[in-house]
Amino acid sequence: MTGAPPDGTVTVHPLPGIPEVVAGDHLGRLLRDALTRAGLTLADGDVLAVSSKIVSKARGLREVADGRGESVLRQSRRIVAERRTPTGTTRVVEAVAGPVMAGAGIDGSNTGADNRLLILPGDPDAAARELYAELLMAYAPQPLPRLGIVVTDTAGRPWRAGQTDFALGACGVAVLEDLRGAEDADGRLLAVTARAVADEIAAAADLVKGKAAGVPAALVRGLPGGTVTDPGAAGARTLVRTGPGDWFALGATEAVRAALGAAPGSPAADRVGVASVVPEEYADRLARAVRLALLGEDGAEVMEGAGGHLLVNAGTPFVAGRVCARLEVALASEAIADVTVRWTGDD
């Protein structure tokens, strides 16, 4: 096909040939050179989608590879969920960088020769603005066209298999198109629709980037007018839903365990034990529920009685009743049903 693409067509162009990025590299010049090699000239309305991996590499954001678990905790504001895996404990967290994601976005693949872990920029929107400034320097004295930057990263999503790229940081991009109050094609009022434009750009760019291809950046062209905006506009952090609007602040199991005193990532959670991502024996799940129920209840004990009943023994009926209630909730957190909990004093 020749000639200009029709109106409404969005094109995504990979930028191959960017060398291994090391601390101190000028990403603006590397991207300028990659655009030149690809035969592309920046134009008004273009958006550059750049992997956070090379942003972290250029800024020397690395930690030793033998302390991944501790690195995740350092790079987390709070822990949402955790599970044991064959290689350790995996945690879904609210990262210091902003998003809620597995492992705080710490990356151990394609990290370069020194084999250290890459961590995300603490302020990804600021990193996007810094990259914009580097492009200004790289193209000086020629002015930049009206350009947007999206710093991308990869994450899974609740209720969906696989991973996709999303906007970790942004500069000069209207990250959200709020359509509430407008009408649909049938004239009905739109009440909740708001398009995460920056995330859509990141996901589209990933179709030509990706870890295996070794292409860390792409040019997205032909986006609707208004997508590229002032460099000082709100960034991608505004897309992170936390606080009162967060319906999923904790995993279902973690919410129950936290209510019983074993918040995710705490020493108490470690003492009780963390569920595995692989199926576990009934006896292991039951023992973990008992440990959770007895957390902080010194002197109480749980025994298995005749007929599969669980019997609670404690110093007073009040304590026994409390432990019985805790045990019923703890059993529910392990999806253990049809088990009768009784106080030994009932016999």
% pLDDT > 90, the chain = 71
**Residue 24: count of CB within 10 angstroms of its CB:** 9
Confidence label for 6 from pLDDT (cuts 50, 70 and 90)? low
> Is the per-residue pLDDT at 270 higher than 50?
yes
Which candidate, 108, 124, 17, 16, places its Cα nearest to that of 65?
108
% pLDDT > 70, the chain = 89
Residue-level pLDDT at 2:
43
3-state secondary structure of 283: helix
Residue-level pLDDT at 1:
34
Residue-level pLDDT at 191:
56
Residue-level pLDDT at 198:
96
Residue-level pLDDT at 239:
92
User: Where, residue-wise, is CATH 3.30.1330.100 in the chain?
Assistant: 11-61+121-245
Confidence label for 110 from pLDDT (cuts 50, 70 and 90)? low
Query: Rounded distance, CA 65 to CA 253, Å?
Result: 30
Query: Rounded distance, CA 156 to CA 207, Å?
Result: 16
Residue-level pLDDT at 211:
66
Query: Rounded distance, CA 254 to CA 242, Å?
Result: 17
Higher pLDDT, 87 or 240: 240
Q: Alpha carbon of 130 to those of 8, 25, 246: distances in Å?
A: 30, 13, 30
Counting beta carbons within 10 angstroms of the beta carbon of residue 76, is it exposed (0 to 12), middle (13 to 18) or buried (19 or more)? buried
Confidence label for 157 from pLDDT (cuts 50, 70 and 90)? confident
Residue-level pLDDT at 24:
95
Region 253-259: mean pLDDT is: 95
Residue-level pLDDT at 44:
96
* CATH no. of 11-61+121-245: 3.30.1330.100
> Is the per-residue pLDDT at 16 higher than 90?
yes
pTM equals 0.86
Query: Rounded distance, CA 347 to CA 330, Å?
Result: 23
